[in-house]
A and B are shown apart, each in its own frame.
Chain A
Amino acid sequence: MGWRLTLRPYLLIVPALLLTCGILYPFGLGLYYTLFDFSASKPQPDMVRFENYGAVFTQEAFWNSAWVTVLYAVGAALAETVLGVAVALLLHRSTMVGRVLEKILILPLMIAPVIAAIIWKLMLQPSVGVVNYLLRPFGLGGVQWTDTPTGALLSSIAVDVWVYTPFVAILALAGLRSLPASPFEAAAVDGAGWWYTFRRLTLPMLWPYVLVAVIFRFMDSLKVFDIIYALTEGGPGDSTVVLQIRAYLEAIRFQRYSFGISYTIVLWAVVYLAAMVLVKHLGKIQRKAAEVTT
């Protein structure tokens, strides 16, 4: 009986793991491919060892993509955090208006990012889009939203913010509702102002929740694909070619499979490193928050 008891949890997990391994296999295969010069024009590839990675790092396009990706991820995560926490704080006041609106907070988050990008693409058309139509009375009728490099990057960040701000707001709101009441009561008795309470109590105690949201949003934005694919396709020029778009262009459009996968492996490594650093930081923040609470 003993061995059956030890084995049981493993047996229950095996099917899930097998499916996962079904995905791990192509991952390993991809890793293996990067050692060759496999492409549509060369179906019988030669072993080139680490030449693909060397080519990635010496390609100017890679560094451009890396820069664009960082700008996008930092910009989107930052804007979503500020806006999301602000929305959560406003909803937490629990007025009539807040209670009604809270029920529909989740809606943009339920729309596929690619569909959101399509929607915004229609709204941001320079001559016939509704955004410029609404801006016309303010003398801003002809903004080329997605046709200038800066505009394209800001527009795609705006779509990301539209889709994912509710995610940050939901986490922050859940955090706000689970904070202990006593420190706030004490602060109120001491006559502390709103700003002081917010900076010394709310924010430090809320920060672990917010940081979880930030980690998720930052990781996800580093590998953004669908929003940019539908909104700008990486253009104009190279201005919004993030790493996943570059990998897509190399591997699928130009059919240089090995080279394209090398791109994604580099991105994967970066995302992992970032996750490790941030999760470590999260632990520190959580301990600090525990000190404030007690």
Chain B
Amino acid sequence: MRKRLVGWLCDTALILYFVFALFPIAWMVILSLKPADQLFSTYFSFSPTLDGYRTVLGDSEGIPFVRFFVNSLVVSVGAVVLSLVVGLPAAYASARWRFKGSENLMFTLLSFRFAPELTVIIPLFVLYQKLGLFDTYVGMVWVLQLVTLPLIVWIMRSYFADLTPELEQAALLDGYTRKQAFFKVALPLVKPGIAAVSLLAFIFAWNNFVFPLILTSNEAQTVTVGALSFLGGDRPKYNLTAAAALVSVVPPLLLALTIQRYLVRGLSFGAVKS
């Protein structure tokens, strides 16, 4: 009897936490469906409308939100692809060979996670103005490496370390070159890891705010900065803000729900192994 009561209390506590965790998202859905003239009146009874989304996605407030969304896609994918190209060999090398300074090099890479972003952004802001990289895709992709590269190297390193070297050695005996052994044996085996870490890195890049805030103004601006612009102005447009916020969280949330299991592994891996 007492045991059942405790179990019931525990479940209630858990549900209460999840109400706290999920209510804000649900509330944004409600708010985004409210007609502009009913924003401040009756809370839960209103006639839902998609006008908010139409305005946000149709540029009608003078804010090119769709372009910001596309920009986010381009720079996040760009950063992930570039990080994979340079990060996979680095992760492989550091997992396979103990060499002089390897630990230090890896730690240097990781230590960027702990640097305050503004330390590099302010000089970059000055530098980008001079180099013409300010408010460009190239500039954003380059700087988003700070977010994606350490993540990819650290997580892929543990995936490579989990493979036994004998597999590649067998391939070498079969007449493969080192390069072929990497591309045809090692790489296919860590494919699930690559997929998971790419999506995790994509989400992190997508969610970044400080870099686009300071290093873009209009052309290369992303959704995280763009969503804020609906809060400005003299008349609060809460339904538009809610719609913009929701649209901007669709990609990360969809990805999170699809690859939930791998994300959890990636998140705890990335943290614990360091």
- Contacting residues, chain B, for A125 (C-beta < 8 A): 238
- Contacting residues, chain B, for A115 (C-beta < 8 A): 207, 224, 227, 245, 248-249
- Asked if A72 lies at the interface with its beta carbon under 8 angstroms from chain B, I say no
- Asked if B112 lies at the interface with its beta carbon under 8 angstroms from chain A, I say yes
- Asked if A48 lies at the interface with its beta carbon under 8 angstroms from chain B, I say no
Known A12-B93, A15-B85, A264-B118; judge A101-B15 contact (CB<8 A).
yes
Q: Is the CB of A111 within 8 A of B252?
A: yes
Q: Is the CB of A27 within 8 A of B22?
A: no
Q: Is the CB of A111 within 8 A of B249?
A: yes
- Asked if B14 lies at the interface with its beta carbon under 8 angstroms from chain A, I say yes
Name the residue on B nearest A22 (C-beta): B142
User: Which residue in A33, A162, A225, A248 is a CB contact (below 8 Å) of B21?
Assistant: A162
User: Which residue in B85, B114, B242 is a CB contact (below 8 Å) of A122?
Assistant: B242
- Asked if B189 lies at the interface with its beta carbon under 8 angstroms from chain A, I say no
Name the residue on B nearest A194 (C-beta): B6
- What 0/1 readout, one digit per residue, does chain A (16-56) give for beta carbons within 8 Å of chain B? 11111011001101100100000000000000000000000
CA distance A133 to B45 in the complex (A): 14
Name the residue on B nearest A91 (C-beta): B14
**Which B1-42 residues have a C-beta within 8 angstroms of A?**
7, 10-11, 13-15, 17-18, 20-22, 24-25, 27-28, 31, 39-40
Stretch among B53-61, B102-110, B161-169 lining the A interface: B102-110
- Asked if B89 lies at the interface with its beta carbon under 8 angstroms from chain A, I say yes
- What 0/1 readout, one digit per residue, does chain A (233-244) give for beta carbons within 8 Å of chain B? 000000000011
User: Which residue in A15, A111, A174, A257 is a CB contact (below 8 Å) of B89?
Assistant: A15
- Number of residues in A with C-beta < 8 Å to the partner? 87
Counting chain B residues whose Cβ lies within 8 A of the other chain, the interface size class is: 35 or more
User: Which residue in B94, B146, B245 is a CB contact (below 8 Å) of A119?
Assistant: B245
- Asked if B145 lies at the interface with its beta carbon under 8 angstroms from chain A, I say yes
- What 0/1 readout, one digit per residue, does chain B (77-90) give for beta carbons within 8 Å of chain A? 00000100111011
- Asked if A205 lies at the interface with its beta carbon under 8 angstroms from chain B, I say no
Stretch among A137-145, A163-171, A179-187 lining the B interface: A163-171
CA distance A108 to B109 in the complex (A): 27
Name the residue on A nearest B85 (C-beta): A15
Q: Is the CB of B24 within 8 A of A123?
A: yes
Name the residue on B nearest A5 (C-beta): B97
Q: Is the CB of B248 within 8 A of A98?
A: no
Name the residue on A nearest B206 (C-beta): A112
- Contacting residues, chain A, for B31 (C-beta < 8 A): 122
Q: Is the CB of B209 within 8 A of A114?
A: yes
- What 0/1 readout, one digit per residue, does chain B (234-251) give for beta carbons within 8 Å of chain A? 000010011001001100
Name the residue on B nearest A222 (C-beta): B116
- Asked if A68 lies at the interface with its beta carbon under 8 angstroms from chain B, I say no
- What 0/1 readout, one digit per residue, does chain A (86-109) give for beta carbons within 8 Å of chain B? 110011010101100101111111
- Contacting residues, chain B, for A170 (C-beta < 8 A): 264, 267-268
10 A-B residue pairs with CB within 8 Å? A15-B90, A16-B109, A33-B126, A106-B267, A119-B24, A128-B238, A171-B272, A209-B272, A226-B210, A264-B116
| Residues of A bordering B, CB below 8 Å | 6, 8-10, 12-13, 15-20, 22-23, 26-27, 29-30, 33, 83, 86-87, 90-91, 93, 95, 97-98, 101, 103-116, 118-123, 125, 128, 130, 133, 162, 165-167, 170-171, 174, 209, 212-213, 216, 219, 223, 225-226, 229-230, 243-244, 247-248, 251-252, 257, 260-261, 263-265, 267-268, 271-272, 275
